[in-house]
Chain A
């Protein structure tokens, strides 16, 4: 018991408080977004979010007090293998919802896979000597397997946030550093080129010349369409372009102070599709009703998670701990960034939830488990049999 209390003392309370505050925000805005839904079940989804958060809190505490090294030693490989198996299973027996096969009974395996991949990558690359090209290939395999499976669902968003997270781990672990940096630079350059080419082609009035440019672009038709909506949102006012436009109007018309809780007219009048307003586009509801100030508060709370998280990583003398924290924080950051930027039209629309706020049980529990592991790093690195631990100890 005494040990448990000392562990609690060593937890980062700012991080916990910010997480809880974000979850409360989630409950509030899921309630608001749900108020226009037709059925009681959908209207009371905020209760589900709250009760899930309570359960998630238990998970959070459990992972916090559990030594992350033990967890990784024992669990990293099996959990990774299990989640890969579930990803296969979901393709076979999963439930189709919202245009994708993402559900296995009551949860989404791809959400669990996010954490499993990060944990396994951190566990593998923390080992000394694993920083040559062959290790990189291993990393590519660790990431590639689940990524392909997730893409098959299809869940482009999950695949997209996994890549930067694993990349951060690889970079931090200096796996094939020179090659990786070069590859990254080439990749960014290629992406820029593709975007530039699509932009040029779409501005080209002559269809033959446009087709000629597209012959050099290694993308499929629907992918080009998405980029087109991103580059020229006016071109598509019915599909994705419509949702984006309505999200922008919602955010923009929110102004500095917002329209007041539950008073967002974009949401009330159904211009912001109610099917996405609780999930991927809950940020639009939040921005419309609480305005720039509410958004700043939300971003500050996320900083209250990422900042202390990075401090935990810096204080941790253990490579594995640092990599785990880096992976998890990058995952959260990518989710946040892509989701918000998507509502503003800064990045193409991909189905990604806003961490802690979007309705979604699996993802919320996974996130809380992940932050529990971060807390575990904060708690347990002090117990390391390391000589310089006292140097790093806060005074």
Chain B
């Protein structure tokens, strides 16, 4: 025989060897390396979708809701239900046809953004996600869809949160608004669910706090990137990693008092200006308003180009928070600082200076608001009467640097550090600054102007509120803040104290009380009201507490563009202040007549007012001066 049995046996050995090779290879693949392949499998057939946490609410100090989320119904299309064989174009056509059919049923127009190209892009790139059709549909549409949903397979309703500001315009500049968030580069998810991101105000500053922690939803996709049909999904073993639930953002409690805020805003209504109410004991912002204002509900879910254009239109610039991002000349409200600087540099409380109605320095002639002059006056009286020539004189006497360092000691010229973005530092000019910006050296006249809060000196209303708070609390500078402390947290410490002896501060405070009691700021304390028609007499109301303040009227421009920005800074109660505020009205008449009554209204809301016997008839002369 030719064919030997040995050959057959060795052939069998070859077969056996082949089987062993296969078995060992399979053992490696299916036993030793199986977890690697399972990971590869998951990598290619799972898509991770970032799911945002519910955004936290914003509350006022008493727990009133200033911002929250409401449910919004959206109709969306599950594109995998319309998957057609062949190229993606067939699927796109099927989706389009179905959307148009549903649109006519719901009597809705097809969304303008839902172009053919957009559907195509969605089908090709994000088919694992539902295609958003109509966002935030009305209840009527929602009901109609729910009625017919069986006839339109492949469509469903998703409910998602949308920002709402229940108080409308109230505290708009503090709250800010939210917009749509863009995917973060660092995020490794494949797709993103709609999320909000704070664009302005505390919504922006405390965005991370409010946002919470995003979770992850995992969906399976087939080789073409579509989610498998439910039937096919059911056939598979669930070997996917579990979803990660998002955690909701925290509620943000503000130091704002909704009622005080409302009163402050009402006082600024129809004007251009700003006001800030602080607690001088720790720097908490009780109210902060800027006018003209806007409704943040117009800015959500996203700020459209048209709305943005109307909100940023000059001169109203409704989006701008004038309390922190606009700077003004402080005018006479700066005088307490000049006074402190003078006292610290050798001017004695009893030193007199005779005001002749005009101050002359070289060829500069600076008029006091009282053309006849105040005559010989001391510092305390000069504050009460707001005498320009007096403060020009002491400013020149102590020198530029003393005034500048006093201004800086009160925090002017630098940001206060409030927990809001977009703060401007203002300007405390000095020689160097003037040379850089105007290419001019510092003249003694500049010192003179700065001493009465004019010239190149620029401050924000919030900075002036901090100044008022420092004068109220005996010289402590606090960082103003909006994020309410939780109980048990230690009270905030002052950033620093102003370097002035307490007896000087007391003197200036006394001067400021005189301002509110009988000086230029009488109307901070007192309100006159027409008693009855035809009567000459007026009813008079006084605040229930003693208050102190300083008015200011900063003149800008010349000739026909001449205008006045009118100020008041104030604090109350005088003995143990709990409120300090600053308020400015652009293009006002004078601090005493335009702003002081408005400050009175805010303080009256907080402390109450009582009618007192009218001591004397109200005369026109009373409101003059600043």
Contact = CB atoms under 8 A, between A and B. Distances in A.
Interface of A: 36, 38, 126, 128, 131, 168, 171-174, 248-249, 251-256, 259-260, 262-263, 265-266, 268-271, 287, 291-292, 295-296, 299, 302-303, 306-307, 310, 313-314, 317, 319, 322-323, 326, 329-330, 333, 337, 340-341, 344, 346
Nearest to A317: B1
A258 B228 CA distance: 21
A306 B45 CA distance: 39
B30 A271 contact: no
A346 B21 CA distance: 10
B236 A341 contact: no
B237 A260 contact: yes
Nearest to A323: B3
B40 A326 contact: no
A253 B34 contact: yes
Nearest to B220: A269
A126 B2 contact: yes
B12 A291 contact: no
Contacts of A310: 8-9, 11-12, 15
B19 A326 contact: no
A283 B228 CA distance: 23
B2 A287 contact: no
A268 B239 CA distance: 14
Among A126, A269, A313, A344, residue most surrounded by chain B Cβ atoms (within 10 Å): A269
A393 B38 CA distance: 52
A168 B11 CA distance: 8
B8 A322 contact: yes
Interface residues of B, number: 42
A340 B148 CA distance: 53
Contacts of A314: 5, 8-9
B25 A344 contact: yes
B202 to A, nearest CB: 46
Contacts of A306: 12, 15
Interface in B231-288: 232, 235-237, 239
A303 B44 CA distance: 36
Contacts of A262: 235
Nearest to A337: B18
Contact of A344 (B8, B29, B235): B29
A168 B12 CA distance: 12
B555 to A, nearest CB: 75
B30 A287 contact: yes
B224 A319 contact: no
A38 B26 CA distance: 31
8 contacts: A248-B29, A253-B37, A253-B40, A255-B30, A263-B237, A299-B22, A306-B12, A307-B12
Nearest to B37: A252
Interface of B is mostly: helix
Interface in B1-55: 1-3, 5, 7-9, 11-12, 15, 18-19, 21-23, 25-27, 29-31, 33-34, 36-38, 40-41, 44-45
A260 B38 CA distance: 15
B12 A292 contact: no
B3 to A, nearest CB: 4
A329 B16 CA distance: 13
Contacts of B40: 249, 252-253
B41 A249 contact: yes
B9 A270 contact: no
Nearest to B18: A337
Q: Which 3 A-B pairs have the closest CB atoms?
A: A252-B37, A270-B223, A269-B222
B3 A271 contact: no
A233 to B, nearest CB: 13
Interface string B157-196: 0000000000000000000000000000000000000000
Contacts of B2: 126, 128, 131, 172-174, 319
B221 interface: yes
Contact of B7 (A171, A260, A265, A295): A171
A284 to B, nearest CB: 11
B8 A172 contact: yes
Given A292-B30, A323-B3, A263 B37 contact: no
Nearest to A122: B3
Nearest to B40: A249
A340 B22 contact: yes
A229 to B, nearest CB: 18
Nearest to B41: A253
Contacts of B18: 333, 337
Contact of A295 (B15, B21, B30, B222): B30
Contact of B31 (A128, A131, A174, A256): A256
B127 to A, nearest CB: 13
Given A302-B19, A346-B22, 10 more contacts: A251-B29, A251-B37, A252-B36, A263-B237, A265-B41, A265-B220, A265-B236, A269-B223, A340-B22, A346-B21
B558 interface: no
B305 interface: no
A240 B26 CA distance: 20
B190 to A, nearest CB: 16
